Structure 1
Amino acid sequence: MTTTKTRAVEYPADGLTMIGHLALPSGTGRGPAVLIGPEGVGLSDVERRRADALAELGYVALAFDLHGGRYLADPEEMLARCMPLLADPDRMRGIGHAALDVVRAEPRTDPDRIAVVGYGTGGAVGLELGRDGVGLRAIGTVNALTTGRPGEAARIRCPVWAGVGSEDPIMPPAQRDAFAAEMQAGGVDWRLTVYGGALHAFHHPPVDHPAPPGVGHHPRHAQRAWRDVLDLLSECLPVTEDPARPDPAAR
């Protein structure tokens, strides 16, 4: 295992003091970077472990914050925070740009080689960065098939991969179709993977608080989705090491 360094980073966004988790690979040179966006509940050890795993593979990785250092375990509180956020592309872009500024300011980052991998609300933030015309190398999302303002998908300048569970009630077939139509109309290099039998947030290990209806872990598909993320990064933002290893969040 490669020796990595991690630290918490504070930065302003959305009127809050965000607390992200930065993981750096071994060595001293500059290299590719990945922003990791969390589910609507907020930044947790799940995303921190994913950042650490990507750093072991040679990426600068920042797991960014959504809620000013808070984890919103209560579903009603989470929805009260996230629903207005998801309805406001400019707010999402502000959160994404703030995280992007942090990772670009890191001396180990090659500022021309950055990707975003996001889950749920964090994935929606990544898509909005793409719709804002940010020069990313790739955007990967899981259960974040959010659509944007008309015509703005044409500003996405990188491949987009999206994964979703076939039984996800929050991202049903109609939403999948709308997302696919938007990407296609925008001329995006896009692909969509549907994981049979999986619910919303299927990638996320079980939690110790009540989960909303329609949310559930699917261990096999969680591992597959992580491999699909790594395949996207290997194609669009390669490093020398082969990233064929399991998702650390499933441990």
Structure 2
Amino acid sequence: MTTATTATTATAVTTRTVEYPADGLTMIGHLAVPAGAGRAPAVLVGPEGPGLSDVDRRRADALAGAGYVALAFDLHGGRWFADPDEMLARCMPLLADPERLRDIGHAALAVLRAEPRTDPDRIAAVGYGTGGAVGLELGRDGVDLRAIATVNALTTGRPGESARIRCPVWAGVGSEDPIMPPAQRAAFTAEMQAAGVDWRLVVYGGALHAFHHPLAGRSPLPGVGHHPRHAQRAWRDVVDLLTECVPVTG
């Protein structure tokens, strides 16, 4: 792993890029560290299928401003896919292979844990789309997380493995998301319930897939679109989950 300091904000949040190997690629993540000297709770921030963008970096920065160490992790070796066909060609095999998703998650988790400011016993995962699937697979792999939040990623796992999830799971989805339709929601919630997981699902009325992402309105894919009001609500719901399950103290 290599690091390079790239910026220090006016609120004393320090950010830097981190390079690390995963999935046969050199991943380029964005680490944001809050002001102070003691250990702090930490959050993995996973991006949508096209890859890590400034939207995810700003989310990590906002969490650091609230007192969390936050790593916005990479999915594609520094690439961001503007072409939907290229994105799907990369993401669909990933989503079909839980072990690859877990490897990407574990590699990012190792970077986050290696940060001296991180409290290794207080880590949560927040993810969107493919990044949300990574967080869920870490949970299904038995990783000791304090919370998992997933938006647009109501992915189901292999039989029985969700019983290994050791923390609350919050999920958000748009009511009009054709990629996560009612049948998929039902399968996901049935899996969580059968596994005895402490789960919640919020359905945002009228929202499409990737409703949380400002660039979604430019996507040529059908069923994808930005919903600014619900995007703000989903973010507040994520922050509320973190406040409940892995609060910043001191």
Q: TM-score range by the shorter chain?
A: over 0.9
Tell me if structure 2 keeps the 8 A contact 1:35–1:64.
yes
Q: Cα distance, 1:208 vs. partner?
A: 8.2
Specify whether residues 63 and 16 from structure 1 end up closer, same or farther in structure 2 by C-alpha distance, changes over 3 A only.
same
- 1:63 aligned residue: 72
- 2:244 aligned residue: 235
Q: Cα distance, 1:29 vs. partner?
A: 0.8
Tell me, yes or no, if structure 1 residue 213 matches structure 2 residue 222. Answer: yes
CA distance in 2, matches of 1:160, 1:191: 6
CA distance in 1, matches of 2:151, 2:223: 15
Encode CA deviations 1:180-226: one digit per residue, 9 max, x unaligned.
00000100000000000000000001358543110000011000000
Which of 211, 230, 240 aligns to 1:202? It is 211
- 1:244 aligned residue: none
Secondary structure of the structure 2 residue equivalent to 1:206: helix
- 1:19 aligned residue: 28
Gapped regions of structure 2 (runs ≥ 5): 1-9
Secondary structure of the structure 2 residue equivalent to 1:118: strand
Tell me if structure 1 keeps the 8 A contact 2:60–2:70.
yes
Q: Cα distance, 1:239 vs. partner?
A: 1.0
Secondary structure of the structure 2 residue equivalent to 1:94: helix
CA distance in 2, matches of 1:210, 1:225: 20
Tell me, yes or no, if structure 1 residue 30 matches structure 2 residue 39. Answer: yes
Query: Aligned ranges for residues 1-251 of structure 1 at < 5 Å?
Result: 2-206=11-215, 209-240=218-249
Structure 1 letter corresponding to 2:86: E
Q: Cα distance, 1:28 vs. partner?
A: 1.1
Encode CA deviations 1:75-129: one digit per residue, 9 max, x unaligned.
0000000000000000000000000000000000000000000000000000000
Q: Cα distance, 1:2 vs. partner?
A: 3.1
Tell me if structure 2 keeps the 8 A contact 1:73–1:209.
no
CA distance in 2, matches of 1:169, 1:3: 41
CA distance in 1, matches of 2:172, 2:218: 25
Gapped regions of structure 1 (runs ≥ 5): 242-251
CA distance in 1, matches of 2:187, 2:109: 28
Encode CA deviations 1:49-77: one digit per residue, 9 max, x unaligned.
00000000000000000000000110000
Q: Cα distance, 1:3 vs. partner?
A: 1.5
Structure 2 letter corresponding to 1:232: L
Which runs of at least 4 in structure 1 moved beyond 4 Å after TM superposition?
A: none
Secondary structure of the structure 1 residue equivalent to 2:208: coil
Query: Sequence identity, in percent?
Result: 83
Q: Cα distance, 1:136 vs. partner?
A: 0.1
The CA RMSD over aligned residues, in Å, is 1.2
Structure 2 letter corresponding to 1:24: V
CA distance in 1, matches of 2:133, 2:102: 9
Q: Normalising by structure 2, report the TM-score.
A: 0.94
Q: Highest relative contact order (Cα 8 Å, sep 6+), 1 or 2? A: 1
Structure 2 letter corresponding to 1:147: T
Q: Normalising by structure 1, report the TM-score.
A: 0.94
CA distance in 2, matches of 1:209, 1:21: 24
CA distance in 2, matches of 1:119, 1:205: 13
Tell me if structure 1 keeps the 8 A contact 2:210–2:216.
no
